[in-house]
Structure 1
Amino acid sequence: MKAIVLNCTLKPSPQPSNTGALAKEVIVELERLGVEVNFIRVADYNIITGIKSDLGDGDNWPAILKELLSSEILIIATPTWMGTMSSQALKVLERLNGLYPTRDEQGRPVTFNKVAGFIVTGAEDGARHVVTEIAGALMDVGFTIAPQSYTYWNNGPGPGDNYLESNYRKDWSIKTGRAAAENLVAVAIALKHTPIPPNSRDKQ
């Protein structure tokens, strides 16, 4: 089984990523469960703004999309800025829009039988709002949303330290993230055994 984790921090490598640090805790659990994980920092690639799957020369999204489509699990990890997801995370969702017309060999959307999870960090609140936004978008394009498939961390009300600087309730975020990994794998296994069939619309 394969998972792809897209770290949507605004900071390219080698700058430290708070979101990446929490994502790595989830990855530890995925790997313990036997999942092969591809961890990609989106800011390190040229993802052209748009809503199609391939925008031509210089666009790095098609290569990432190929890895995504070969994985059973997608996890989007994003910081919160001004109470919402990062611009990198929004760009990923916009590019996933290009998958709407794409079908597999049975006529289903190519994202059917793939499971999505979420990781959110930020010095201030907004994590649950971000999870809701991303989950709704991915469900709309065909992903399955597992129960309790997210974790988040914030420093409480108002500005404060970031994830790497603070020990505030990180144990909860790590424990919840590992539980989310277990749930994602369980649902992915279930979908392998009993995949979602083509529906009447797909057969037309």
Structure 2
Amino acid sequence: MSPDGMPSTDFTDLTALFLNCTLKPSPEPSNTSALMADSIAIMRANGVVVEEVRAVDHHIAPGVQPDMRQAGFPDDGWPALWDRVRAADILVLGSPIWLGEKSSICTQVVERLYAHSSQTNDAGQYVFYNKVAGSVVTGNEDGYKHVGMNLTYSLQHIGYTVPPQSSAGWVGDAGPGPSYADDGSGGPDSDFTQQTLTFMTWNLMHMAALLKRSGGIPAHGTSTTAWQDGERFDHPRG
């Protein structure tokens, strides 16, 4: 809390990674990046250290192991990227919509995140505990809520905390037409889109700060290490 009793808006102890799953390698323009930019600006204005990365630039191998070089792939860009994912208090996955679904790159990223779901933090909880996540989605077809639902479910399933209203997006008219960053698209001027993006950003910052400054979710009842050691946390058939 600030001295006047209001919630603190100093988030200088937080870090965020915006992982853009566009199919376009840098420096090609990305509509998903354009929508992410306003969320990034809000976070940086409040002291969050933010990094934006395009997954497609990192030659990520397919698979569900932490390092697919151990499974026969000659190269895998994920292990180096994983260090940045693990260090971030906030993860925002961004994806375009193709055929009503998240991009193939985004599916690949979710699979690689899942590869770490058996790892634990210092409290014996799954490694994604006490971190928060959200999603940003763009497209020229229906489906942003469907994609957001899929992403936020996947992220909470592996241990991320998903705060209220943690997904934002914009879609144009069904079929061919201007994309978010194109002149005349209406996206940057959409009050609904910009309000939703703003609320998502603040929810992510507030929740990340609450978790970090309170010591996180208690390990009692949530420690996979303790469970493996025989602790049953009052389960009636323990």
TM superposition score normalised by structure 2? 0.82
- Deviation of 1:160 (Å): 1.7
2:236 alignment partner in structure 1: none
Question: Counterparts in 2 of 1:1-204, with a 5 A limit?
Answer: 1-56=14-69, 57-165=74-182, 166-171=184-189, 172=191, 173-194=193-214, 195-198=216-219, 199=221, 202=224, 203-204=226-227
Q: Which moved more, 1:162-171 or 1:181-190?
A: 162-171
| AA in 1 matched with 2:188 | K
Tell me the distance in 2 between the aligned counterparts of 1:27 and 1:54: 29
Greater helix content: 1
State the 1:151 CA deviation. Answer: 1.2
Cα RMSD (Å) of the superposition?
1.3
Runs of 4+ in 1 over 6 A off after TM superposition: none
The answer for unaligned runs of 5 or more in structure 1 is none
Q: Which moved more, 1:133-142 or 1:191-200?
A: 191-200
> What is the deviation of 1:76?
0.2
CA distance in 2, matches of 1:201, 1:67: 24
1:116-149 deviation line (CA, Å, top 9, x unaligned): 0110000111000000001111111000101111
Letter in 2 for 1:197: P
Alpha-carbon distance in 2 for matches of 1:158, 1:45: 31
1:201 deviation in Å? 5.2
* Kept after mapping to 2: 8 A contact 1:53/1:99: yes
Structure 2: runs of 5 or more not aligned: 1-13, 228-238
Equivalent residue of 1:29, what SS? helix
Paired residue total: 204
Q: SS at 1:101's partner residue?
A: coil
Question: In terms of mean alpha carbon deviation, does 165-174 or 71-80 score higher?
Answer: 165-174
Report which of the two has the higher share of strand: 1
User: CA offsets per residue over residues 53-79 of structure 1, 9 Å max, x none?
Assistant: 111252111111111111100000000
| % identity of equivalent residues | 37
Higher relative contact order (CA 8 A, sep 6+): 1
